[in-house]
């Protein structure tokens, strides 16, 4: 199938979509199954590419993965075994999740091979924190042209470790290594995103002992064995916010079934400040949030992306499209990734007026100030968007391109839309259901 989507924009998106388990939890919980000696079960798993990649990697390592009823995945890790480098490398460059297999595979096999990582191209995305922590746990890490080889001849042992920055992936790496390491691990400056807390819930179900203290300190008491788990994942708050931003940008009205207020409070405050309206529906048979554009002008805002409980960086790109329709100058200071504004060039080509700056334009100077990265954006609106040809650069930027094409009058050809499947389940069917005029 061609991966060009023809989008005939200009009409409001109206209707209902459903979000399922979060991409950024489901894939990690799948990795955790390797640590257990029993069967694990996960409900409400979305059909997205990152899930397929992790499933492929687990199967290569002997985990039997099967589909249960609608959206249920079942994992049997009783025969975990080494996989060939060439087979693993089929998945090179496709996702960031393989790095999280280090701890579980070292515990089960004493060895791990990790292919080149993928993920969105939004900055350097180093893994120095991961490797430093793994070495401290007792792993030997060897870098080779084909990927990373790790071994742990003396097993893994608990550590005291402080992250320079509360990295989500490094926190998960340390959790997955520490739960079965000998002794206690104390992690300071840990990330505490809701997806991490949900991963801790998964690990606790398996038998782990993990204490989340105040001030970003997590203490993990290593245990000798873990079992399987049954888990309904936290809903995807990034996808939910993406649809909310789409409703605002297209002057539409979308009920996002599955969206949960507690995980989205920071987004909801910003959405309301811009002039969007929402209603949380907790009624039986409800369970979701309705987002709509109430008519009239939207208001410009200033915001900074940050670690939880700040404004998520992954909410940024779709929201900027909505901000291009707000009245006045909005400022967005991106403090999590140094290169997450590349996509604004395409929006400008469509008529948006977005300038990017090297300075920290938010209230707080961040790590990227004076380093030459254009990590602050000023968005002047409202701008009339017009159709054009677009090339999808990565997942969230891709979704923002799609929203812009849907908000613009006329026909846009959006190239490379398959990338969006990495994190948005059935996005074309969902768009069609919302009344979008799209065709491959």
Ligand X SMILES: CC(=O)N[C@H]1[C@@H](OP(=O)(O)OP(=O)(O)OC[C@H]2O[C@@H](n3ccc(=O)[nH]c3=O)[C@H](O)[C@@H]2O)O[C@H](CO)[C@@H](O)[C@@H]1O
Ligand Y SMILES: C=C(OP(=O)(O)O)C(=O)O
**Positions that interact with ligand X (CB under 6 A):** 24, 96, 123-130, 165, 167-170, 191, 193, 313-314, 336-337
Compute the least distance from the CB of residue 168 to ligand X, in Å.
3
Rounded to the nearest whole angstrom, what is the least distance from the CB of residue 167 to ligand X in the complex? 3
HSE-CB of 115 using CA atoms within 13 angstroms: 21
Q: Which is nearer to ligand Y, 172 or 304 (CB)?
A: 172
Residue 395 engages ligand Y in binding (rule: CB under 6 A): yes
Return the percent helix, strand and coil in the chain, to nearest 5: 35, 25, 40
Interaction of residue 423 with ligand Y, rule CB under 6 A? yes
Separation between Cα atoms, residue 105 and residue 92, nearest integer Å: 17
Instruction: Cite the annotated binding site by residue number.
Output: 23-24, 96, 314, 336
Stretch (H or E) spanning 402: helix 395-407
Q: Which does 423 bind (CB under 5 to 8 A by kind): ligand X, ligand Y, none?
A: ligand Y
> Cα torsion for 262, 264, 265, 270, to the nearest 10°?
-170
Facing residues of 287 across strands? none
Selected binder of ligand Y within 10, 119, 351, 433 (CB under 6 A):
119
Return the residues of window 309-338 that contact ligand Y according to CB under 6 A.
Answer: 314
379 interacts with ligand Y by CB under 6 A: no
What number of residues does the chain have? 440
Are the C-beta atoms of residues 19 and 259 closer than 8 Å to each other?
Answer: yes
Q: Which is nearer to ligand Y, 292 or 368 (CB)?
A: 368
Residues 167/187, Cβ–Cβ less than 8 Å: no
Identify residues 232-251 at the interface with ligand Y (CB under 6 A): 238
The three-class DSSP label of residue 384 is coil
Size of site (CB under 6 A) for ligand Y: 8
Nearest distance in Å: CB 238, ligand Y: 6
Q: Minimum CB separation from ligand Y for residue 274, in Å? A: 21
Least Cα distance to 395 among 431, 429, 423 occurs for: 423
Give the residue with the Cβ less far from ligand Y, 222 or 233: 233
- Numbered residues of the known binding site for UDP-N-acetyl-alpha-D-glucosamine: 96, 314, 336
Query: How many C-beta atoms surround the C-beta of residue 329 within 10 A?
Result: 15
Asked if 46 is part of the footprint of ligand Y (rule: CB under 6 A), the reply reads no
Asked whether the CA dihedral 153, 157, 163, 168 is positive or negative, the reply is positive
Of 119 and 155, the one with the shorter C-beta distance to ligand Y is 119
Both tokens of 411, joined, read 């026909």
How many angstroms separate the CA atoms of 189 and 167, rounded? 9
State in angstroms the smallest separation of the CB of 22 from ligand Y. 10
Each residue 86-105 as x (binds ligand Y by CB under 6 A) or -, in order, gives ----------x---------
Contact 361, 355 (CB under 8 A): no
Q: Which residues contact 284 (CB under 8 A, 6 or more apart)?
A: none
β-pairing, 230-231 vs 40-42, is parallel
Could you tell which of ligand Y, ligand X, none binds residue 395, using a CB distance below 5 to 8 A set by kind? ligand Y
User: Angle, nearest 10°, between helix axes 102-109 and 128-137?
Assistant: 30
What gap in Å lies between CA 126 and CA 146, rounded to an integer? 17
Specify the residue, 323 or 397, whose C-beta has the smaller distance to ligand Y.
Answer: 397
By CB under 6 A, name the one of 20, 49, 290, 396 that touches ligand Y.
Answer: 396
Smallest distance from ligand X to CB 127, Å: 5
Residues with a catalytic annotation lie at: 120
Nearer to ligand Y, 71 or 119 (CB): 119
What residue 236 binds from ligand X, ligand Y, none (CB within 5 to 8 A, per partner kind)?
none
Strand partners, 333: 304, 376
Q: State in angstroms the smallest separation of the CB of 336 from ligand X.
A: 5
Smaller CB separation from ligand Y, 238 or 403: 238
* Contacts with ligand Y, 125-154, as mask; x by CB under 6 A: ------------------------------
Can you say which residues are annotated as belonging to the binding site for phosphoenolpyruvate? 23-24
For ligand Y, the binding residues (CB under 6 A) are: 96, 119-120, 238, 314, 395-396, 423
């Amino acid at each position: 199938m061609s991966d060009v989507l023809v989008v005939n924009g200009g009409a409001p998106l109206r209707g209902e979509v459903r979000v399922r388990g979060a991409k950024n939890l489901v894939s990690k919980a799948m990795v955790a199954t390797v640590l257990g000696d029993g069967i694990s079960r996960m409900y409400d798993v979305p059909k997205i590419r990152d899930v397929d990649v992790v499933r492929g990697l687990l199967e290569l390592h002997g985990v039997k993965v099967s589909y249960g009823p609608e959206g249920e995945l079942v994992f049997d890790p009783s025969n975990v075994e080494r996989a060939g480098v060439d087979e693993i490398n089929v998945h090179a460059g496709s996702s960031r999740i393989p790095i999280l297999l280090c701890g579980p595979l070292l515990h089960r096999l004493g060895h791990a091979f990790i292919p080149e990582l993928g993920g969105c191209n939004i900055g350097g995305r180093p893994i120095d924190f991961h490797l430093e922590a793994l070495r401290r746990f007792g792993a030997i890490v060897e870098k080779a042209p084909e990927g990373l080889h790790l071994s742990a001849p003396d097993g893994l042992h608990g550590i005291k470790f402080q992250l320079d920055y509360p990295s989500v992936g490094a926190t998960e790496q340390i959790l997955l290594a520490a739960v079965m390491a000998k002794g206690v691990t104390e992690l300071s400056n840990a990330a505490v995103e809701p997806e991490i807390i949900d991963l801790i819930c998964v690990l606790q179900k398996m038998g782990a002992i993990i204490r989340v203290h105040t001030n970003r300190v997590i203490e993990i008491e290593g245990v000798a064995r873990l079992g399987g788990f049954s888990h309904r994942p936290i809903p995807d708050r990034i996808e939910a916010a993406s649809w909310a931003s789409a409703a605002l940008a297209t002057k539409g009205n979308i009920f996002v079934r599955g969206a949960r207020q507690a995980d989205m409070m920071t987004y909801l405050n910003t959405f309301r400040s811009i002039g969007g309206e929402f209603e949380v529906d907790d009624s039986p048979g409800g369970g979701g949030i309705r987002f709509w554009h109430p008519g009239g002008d939207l208001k410009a805002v200033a915001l900074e992306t940050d670690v939880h409980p700040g404004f998520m960086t992954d909410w940024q790109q779709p929201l900027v499209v909505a901000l291009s329709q707000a009245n006045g100058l909005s400022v967005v200071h991106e403090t999590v990734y140094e290169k997450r504004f590349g996509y604004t060039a395409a929006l400008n080509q469509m008529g948006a007026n977005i300038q990017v700056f090297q300075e920290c334009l938010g209230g707080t100077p961040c790590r990227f100030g004076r380093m030459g990265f254009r990590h602050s954006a000023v968005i002047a609106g409202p701008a009339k968007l017009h159709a054009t040809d677009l090339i999808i650069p990565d997942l969230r930027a891709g979704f923002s391109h799609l929203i812009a094409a849907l908000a613009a009058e006329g026909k846009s050809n959006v190239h490379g839309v398959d990338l969006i499947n990495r994190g948005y389940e059935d996005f074309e069917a969902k768009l069609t259901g919302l009344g979008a005029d799209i065709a491959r």
